[in-house]
Each structure stands twice: as C-alpha cells, then as structure tokens.
Chains A and B, each alone.
Chain A
Amino acid sequence: MHELGIAASVVDVCAEQAAGARVLRVRVEVGRLTAVLPDALRFVFDVCAHGTALEGAELEIVDIPGRARCEACGQTVALSEPYGLCACGGMLRIVSGEELRVKDMEVA
C-alpha cells in the first residue's frame, strides 16, 4: 500500500502550492510501468485529502502506456511489463510509462 504515501505526496504538493486556496481538481500522471495501482491511489486519496485544501477535490489519473526504444534497431515498441526484449533480440530502453507526477491542479 505505498499508494498511501503517494496520495499523501499529491496532497502535500498541491496544498503547498495552493497556498490556502481550495483545490477543486488535480491531475496526476501514473505510468503503467510503475508499481502504482490507479484504483488503490483513488481509494486512499480521499482519506489523505480529508481536512486539507484538497478535501472534496476530484482526482484525475492520466494513464501513460509503457513504451521502449530498442537499442539495436531503434524501433519503438509497446511494453506491458517493465522489462522485455525487442523482436530483433535487442535490449530495450524504457522511454515512457514510469511517470509518477502531479501535472496540474485547478484552484477556486
């Protein structure tokens, strides 16, 4: 349940930047190759937001698919796990899907 710590981090970052204003909505990017479950994050977000500037705020999770570039042939391929080999046998370097970032928020 590290999602609890991640949700607390979202609340902390937003509350600090909101500087007293009420936060209506927050957008968080979660890459599919991170070990963070969007459903679990939603589940604990309301708990963490309780009693803060984010109480009642909507959490929008932007799902970022996993993609990697082959170091041998240069082709970009889709990844569902944080590892794998290219069809050509080359090593893959992950280019997206590892995001865990507060993108923006809407304040009243």
Chain B
Amino acid sequence: MCTTCGCGADEITVDSEPAQLGHAHGHDHHAHDHHHDHGHGTAHGRLVTLEQDLLAKNQLFAERNRGWFDGRGVLAVNLMSAPGAGKTTLLERTIREWGRGVPVSVLEGDQATSADADRIRAAGAAAVQINTGTGCHLDAHMVAHGLDRLRPQRDSALLIESVGNLVCPALFDLGEHVRVVVVSVTEGDDKPQKYPHMFRGCDLLLINKTDLLPYVRFELARCIVSARKVNPRLEVQAISAETGDGMQAWYEWLDQQRAKLGERSLPNVVTERPGVPAHF
C-alpha cells in the first residue's frame, strides 16, 4: 500500500502502468532504533510520544516537486474543480492558444480511463495520465511519478488537472506554484462557502461557461462575494472556454505567474515556504 495516498500501489497507474509508489525515490521505510520513549508508563502499556503531522510526508514530496520545478524554471499550475466544470476544455483551448508561445505539458488526474490525456495530446501538448483507482485526489507522491515520465522541458508550463472533487484535493500540496479553482455557472453561485477549504487555498477563481449565463440562475456577483468571504485575496476571472470569451485575461495571468517564477528562480534568493512543518 502506498503510505502517502493510502491506495494500493497496483491500483494507481501512470499511463496505464503500475506506479510502484512504495518503492521509488529511495524513501525506504527503515526501522528506527529509537522509540521516543519518555518513560510515561501506563497501566496497560508504554506511552510513546509522537507529535507527528499526518500530512508531513506529502509535504516533503511537495517541496521536492517544487524544487524540481524551480530548478528548471517550470511554472506548475494546479487546476481543481468539481467534476464537469470544464477543466479539460479549458486546457484544450489554453494549449491551442497560449501554448503557441509557451511550451505546455499536462498531468491528468482521473480515477480511471486515459480519455482526458488523449484529448490533451490531440490539442497538441505532451500529457501523462495518472489514474488514482478508488483514490479521490492526486498527491505529491503521484505527481513525482508523473514527472518521471512526463519530463517537462525547461522554462515551460506544467498544468496539473486534479481529480474532479472540491474537498479532498484541497488538503494536498502537490508542489505547484499556483492553485486555480474552476466553477461553472451550471453549479450554485454559493459554492465557495459550501467548500471553503478549496477556495481559501486558491490564488485564482475561474468562473467558466459564462456563455450559459442567460439560461441558468447563477449570479456572478453573488459567487464573487461568496468566494471573497472565504478568501479575501482571491483573484476572479469570468471565462467561457467554449467560446473563448475572457480567455485573454487568463493567459495574461499565466504570463504574470511565469514572470514571478523567473524572479523566484534567481540564484542565492531564499524564499520562505509557508506551511512546511518545522522539523523539515
């Protein structure tokens, strides 16, 4: 069993091949010879103090991934949404339009099938499909395996399409530089407050399928107010990946993130990484 994601390693596949998550990267689970025994014996047994963060292992992989991206000048964008919000259509158009000037590759996360990776390749970008089996999210460990296969080129952009789910992916840092959440107007405009963990951790909210606004009861302003209650610094853009409306602003935002990455990657600049457990 993969200890990072809790799924059986044979269940997770990278481009249809077993990911062997328990064996790569040399992180063997060696037995420690110290027990952290502080001598607080109880009537039943020996009390062992652990004080260990449960997401620490994922965080460690996430920081490795981030270092990998920084060292190669690769902008990593994590795209998350509920199923059916239009992430793959958004990626297809982004690859065809923005991808003309910037090399783009894609890590596709889905429980099953390579349908999305096939669509991305047809749009003209290199793609690797990670199937999580019964798992509900990608984690940093799976992304590391996906990178082994995808090998994004220097100074490119990597777009990670997370498994459609507004709860679980919010918890797992993949090592990305920016997080984008996509909501479509066919969903409720109060979604941000219903799924606060997702929205508070994101940098940009893309409200998609705006071409359908005349036919649904979705108020853009209400959605933005709901989102800003959860995350006051959240940027918001309204787009239609289908018609192309609003996409230029999205491309400009991506360009800005690449420019920021250039500043981050200067040698001898130490950047603070918030959220990393102190023992790392």
A residues sitting closer than 8 Å to B (CB atoms) are 1-2, 4-10, 12-14, 16-20, 24-25, 28, 34-36, 48, 81-83, 91, 100-108
Contacts and interface: CB of A to CB of B under 8 A. Distances in A.
B168 interface: yes
Interface in B16-61: 29, 31-33, 35-36, 42, 44-55, 57
Given A8-B1, A19-B35, A24-B45, A104 B136 contact: no
B224 to A, nearest CB: 15
A59 B116 CA distance: 40
Contacts, number: 114
Given A2-B171, A5-B4, A35-B197, A106 B48 contact: yes
Nearest to A30: B54
Interface size class of B (residues with CB under 8 A): 35 or more
Given A2-B167, A106-B45, A17 B50 contact: yes
A35 B139 contact: no
Given A4-B6, A35-B197, A107-B46, 5 more contacts: A9-B54, A12-B3, A25-B44, A35-B168, A107-B48
A104 B168 contact: no
B6 to A, nearest CB: 3
Interface of B: 1, 3-7, 29, 31-33, 35-36, 42, 44-55, 57, 135-137, 139, 167-168, 170-172, 193, 196-197, 200, 229-232
A10 B232 contact: no
B171 A103 contact: no
